[in-house]
Amino acid sequence: MEIVTGISRMREISRSVRSGVPAGREEQAAGEGDGKTGRGRGPAGARRAGPRRLGFVPTMGALHEGHLSLVRRAREVSDVVVLSIFVNPKQFGPAEDFERYPRDLERDAVLAAREGVEFLFTPSTGEIYPPTFSTSVEVERLSRVMCGASRPGHFRGVATVVLKLLNIISPDVAVFGAKDFQQWVIIRRMAADLNLDVELLLAPIVRETDGLAMSSRNASLSPAERQAARILDRSLHRARGLFARGERAVAVIDGAVRGSLEEEPLARIDYVAVVDPETLEPVASLSGPTLVAIAVRIGGTRLIDNVVLGNEKIAPRQSAPDPQLCRPEAAGRKDENVP
Catalytic residues: 67
Considering only the stretches 15-23, 129-137, 213-221, 299-307, report the one whose residues sit in contact with ligand AMP under the rule CB under 6 A.
Answer: 213-221
Should residue 305 be labelled a site residue for ligand AMP when binding is judged by CB under 6 A? no
Rounded-to-10 torsion of CA 132, 58, 337, 293 = -40
Among 56, 119, 155, 176, binds ligand AMP (CB under 6 A): 176
- In the complex, what is the shortest distance from the CB of residue 1 to ligand AMP, in angstroms, rounded to a whole number? 18
The answer to whether the beta carbons of residues 84 and 113 sit under 8 Å apart is no
Of 62, 133, 123, 327, the closest CA to residue 211 belongs to: 327
Among 18, 48, 67, 73, binds ligand AMP (CB under 6 A): 67
213 or 231: CB nearest ligand AMP: 213
Site pattern 31..60 for ligand AMP (x: CB under 6 A): ----------------------------xx
Residues 120-159 that bind ligand AMP (CB under 6 A): none
- In the complex, what is the shortest distance from the CB of residue 151 to ligand AMP, in angstroms, rounded to a whole number? 13
**Which class for 307: exposed (0-12), middle (13-18), buried (19 or more C-beta within 10 A)?**
buried
Considering only the stretches 23-31, 66-74, 111-119, 232-240, report the one whose residues sit in contact with ligand AMP under the rule CB under 6 A.
Answer: 66-74
Beta partners for 307?
292
Among 20, 42, 66, 211, binds ligand AMP (CB under 6 A): 66
Should residue 91 be labelled a site residue for ligand AMP when binding is judged by CB under 6 A? no
Give CA 68 to chain center in angstroms. 11
Query: d(Cα 60, Cα 103) in Å, to the nearest integer?
Result: 8
CA distances from 302 to 106, 130, 220 (A): 26, 30, 10
Should residue 160 be labelled a site residue for ligand AMP when binding is judged by CB under 6 A? no
Nearest residue to the partner ligand AMP, using Cβ: 177
* Phi/psi at 81 (5° precision): -115, 130
Should residue 214 be labelled a site residue for ligand AMP when binding is judged by CB under 6 A? yes
Should residue 180 be labelled a site residue for ligand AMP when binding is judged by CB under 6 A? yes
CA distances from 90 to 116, 136, 230 (A): 30, 10, 30
* Phi/psi at 237 (5° precision): -60, -40
Query: d(Cα 71, Cα 50) in Å, to the nearest integer?
Result: 22
Reduced 3-state DSSP string for 306-324: EEEECCCCCCCCCCCCCHH
Considering only the stretches 1-9, 99-107, 202-210, 305-313, report the one whose residues sit in contact with ligand AMP under the rule CB under 6 A.
Answer: 202-210
Should residue 161 be labelled a site residue for ligand AMP when binding is judged by CB under 6 A? no
**Which class for 9: exposed (0-12), middle (13-18), buried (19 or more C-beta within 10 A)?**
middle
Should residue 185 be labelled a site residue for ligand AMP when binding is judged by CB under 6 A? no
Should residue 84 be labelled a site residue for ligand AMP when binding is judged by CB under 6 A? no
Size of residue set near ligand AMP by CB under 6 A = 17
Residues that bind ligand AMP (CB under 6 A): 59-60, 66-67, 69-70, 176-177, 179-180, 203, 205-206, 213-216
